[in-house]
């Protein structure tokens, strides 16, 4: 079974570079909260595709890691006639996009990361995070998805999200066992540390964070410094954008974040 991919819109210009949307943990292709529509309105010439991550939505492949996920995405897009794309990833989706940029660089024309990181540099922190992810996975397997999501969406990270933007009903269409597997194989504790490999990213990068998300504001700043070591050429410089909101800023301010993305694409000739 291939990954599920939904064509949000078919662009008016077949030669333009498509946009591929990669969602966060517990989400799926139905959880973009109007951000996908805002992007479509600003990028009418582009085809936009949203992908269900392994273990989410209508995708299987519960037992794959982020490197294998990158391969599956490339294969699925080839089925749609897409060989190169700009990837827009939120949180877990951003980490997926980074793996694509590192392991499949010839397939990535540009990268937009929203509230995302390259992982944990310290091995001890990764072990602690793996244990925390395992506890969450066990909760998913031992209680109702409704109860799990109630606690998950109550986290400060998601403060300020409207009921509509939370897309709770859409998240409830996920399978608990798929989400548990995603934590074990694609969680921050399980993934490799990509900080040393940021210099290998060979495409323009936009780092978006919410103004009220200090953790990911710091991460975006650090990532920009590392990415700017790649080359003195302006075409490889990283851009950082702050938009009013918290972690899921694209769900709080869809038009504003879409506008930032569109400006980045235009400035880099993508």
pLDDT in tens, 156-187: 989 889 999 999 999 999 999 999 999 999 99
CA pair distance 111, 206, nearest whole angstrom: 6
Per-residue pLDDT at 1: 58
**pTM reported for the whole predicted model:** 0.96
CA distance 192 to 22: 19
Q: How many CA atoms lie within 13 Å of 24's alpha carbon, on the beta-carbon side?
A: 21
pLDDT surpassing 70 at residue 234: no
Q: What is the mean pLDDT of the chain?
A: 94
For the record, the structure tokens of 5 come out as 């991919």
pLDDT at 233: 53
Alpha-carbon separation of residue 4 from 56, 91, 125 (angstroms): 9, 19, 33
Domains of the chain are 5-267 (3.40.50.1820)
The average pLDDT across 122-130 equals 96
User: How large a percentage of the chain has pLDDT more than 70?
Assistant: 98
| Phi, psi torsion values for 208, nearest 5 degrees | -110, 135
Instruction: Give me 269's structure tokens.
Output: 């000739």
């Amino acid at each position: 079974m291939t990954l599920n991919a939904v064509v949000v819109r078919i662009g008016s210009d077949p030669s333009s570079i498509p946009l591929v949307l990669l969602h966060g943990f517990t989400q799926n292709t139905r959880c973009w909260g109007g951000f996908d529509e805002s992007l479509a309105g600003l990028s009418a010439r582009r085809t936009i595709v949203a992908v269900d991550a392994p273990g989410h939505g209508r995708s299987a492949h519960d037992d794959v890691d982020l490197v294998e996920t990158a391969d599956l995405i490339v294969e699925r897009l080839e089925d749609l006639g897409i060989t190169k794309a700009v990837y827009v990833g939120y949180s877990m989706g951003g980490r997926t996009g980074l793996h694509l940029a590192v392991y499949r660089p010839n397939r990535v024309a540009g990268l937009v990361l929203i509230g995302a990181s390259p992982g944990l540099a310290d091995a001890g922190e990764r072990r602690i995070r793996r244990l925390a992810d395992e506890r969450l996975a066990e909760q998913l397997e031992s209680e109702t998805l409704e109860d799990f999501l109630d606690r998950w969406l109550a986290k400060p990270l998601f403060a300020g999200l409207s009921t509509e933007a939370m897309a709770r009903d859409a998240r409830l269409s996920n399978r608990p066992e798929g989400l548990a597997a995603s934590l074990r194989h694609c969680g921050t504790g399980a993934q490799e540390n990509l900080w040393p490999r940021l210099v290998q990213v060979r495409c323009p990068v936009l780092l978006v964070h919410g103004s009220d998300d200090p953790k990911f504001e710091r991460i975006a700043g650090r990532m920009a410094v590392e990415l700017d070591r790649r080359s003195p050429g302006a075409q490889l410089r990283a851009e950082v954008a702050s938009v009013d909101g918290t972690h899921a800023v694209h769900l709080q301010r869809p038009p504003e974040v879409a506008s930032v993305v569109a400006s980045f694409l235009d400035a880099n000739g993508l």
